[in-house]
Amino acid sequence: MKNDITDITAVMLDLDGTVFDSVELWHEIDNIFLGKRGIAPSYEYKHGIAALGFTASAYYTIDFYKLSDTPEQLMNEWNELAAKAYAEDIKLLDGAREYIEKCRADGKIITAVTSLHRSFAESCMKNNGIFDMFDKIFTADETGLAKASPDIYIHAAKTVGADPYRCMAFDDVAAAIISAKRAGMTTVAMDGKMLDRNAVKDYADFIVKGWNDAPNI
């Protein structure tokens, strides 16, 4: 059953695994680029990079696996593997477009708060016809703020002129849900492959299976 929440003025949307049906893409990319180096990506690694930005992920990967690559080399390799998929292939999760459209129609401020590279975010939004629905895109790389810290959510709310206590944040990664809650926001955890339900149980106001179960705002 859906819940009705009043007084929300802004929604803060994660993209990968929350709006975009893209989690499997990154698992595939992990398998490809680490496989070339004779490494199988571990559970700890996948969750360790989940709330990091593009650049931070490169440094984390090099440190985690003690690679000889430079961050630039890793990012170039990821770019080559991911660019076409975001521009042409990745679709939205079921119900995401309709939810965003309703928020827009109701006058909500709509932002993306993402660890995704801006070029990937924008190309996928444009390919799926939702780019113009967003008021602002905040990336971990551009802000210099990781989603594992409340600071990126506080910064996003301040930039668009919204009180954090009147914002609702959506994400499929525990670290981001915890950060958004610590920033004072109402939080919605999307229950997918990346979500640690036990880690978010004290921080998620809602845990939903998908957009059709998301609270009305």
The mean per-residue pLDDT over the stretch 16-43 comes to: 90
pLDDT at 50 over 80: no
Whether residue 137 sits in one domain with residue 43: no
Whether residue 102 sits in one domain with residue 79: no
In this prediction, residue 54 carries a pLDDT of 81
Q: Is residue 133 part of a domain?
A: yes
Where is the domain boundary, 63, 89, 115? 89
Percent of the chain clearing pLDDT 70 (strictly above) = 98
Whether residue 172 sits in one domain with residue 192: yes
Higher pLDDT, 81 or 125: 125
Where is the domain boundary, 67, 89, 111? 89
Q: Is residue 109 part of a domain?
A: yes
pLDDT at 128 over 50: yes
Whether residue 149 sits in one domain with residue 81: no
pLDDT band at residue 1 using 50, 70 and 90 as cut-offs: very low
Higher pLDDT, 26 or 31: 31
Whether residue 193 sits in one domain with residue 99: yes
Total domains in the chain come to 2
Whether residue 35 sits in one domain with residue 136: no
pLDDT at 3 over 70: no
**Secondary structure class of 8 (helix, strand, coil):** coil
- CATH number at 39 reads 1.10.150
Six-digit token string for 34: 């680490």
Whether residue 201 sits in one domain with residue 185: yes
Distance CA 106, CA 156 (A): 20
In this prediction, residue 4 carries a pLDDT of 61
Question: Which amino acid does the sequence have at 167?
Answer: C
Where is the domain boundary, 89, 122, 138? 89
* Contacting residues for 141 by C-beta, under 8 A, at least 6 apart: 53, 54, 55, 56, 117, 118
Whether residue 170 sits in one domain with residue 67: no
Whether residue 104 sits in one domain with residue 67: no
Higher pLDDT, 24 or 123: 123
Whether residue 209 sits in one domain with residue 113: yes
- CATH number at 136 reads 3.40.50.1000
The mean per-residue pLDDT over the stretch 90-113 comes to: 97
pLDDT one-digit tens code per residue, 52-66: 778 888 999 999 999
Cα dihedral sign, 31-35-40-45: negative
pLDDT at 43 over 90: no
CB 202 within 8 A of CB 25: no
Q: Is residue 4 part of a domain?
A: no
pLDDT one-digit tens code per residue, 149-169: 999 999 999 999 999 999 999
The mean per-residue pLDDT over the stretch 78-85 comes to: 88
Which residues pair with residue 190 across a beta bridge?
208
pLDDT at 200 over 90: yes
Whether residue 105 sits in one domain with residue 155: yes
Query: DSSP letters of 106-118?
Result: TT-EEEEEESS-H
* Contacting residues for 195 by C-beta, under 8 A, at least 6 apart: 172, 173, 174, 189, 207
Q: Is residue 2 part of a domain?
A: no
Domain residue limits at 125: 10-22+91-213
Q: Is residue 128 part of a domain?
A: yes
Whether residue 158 sits in one domain with residue 60: no
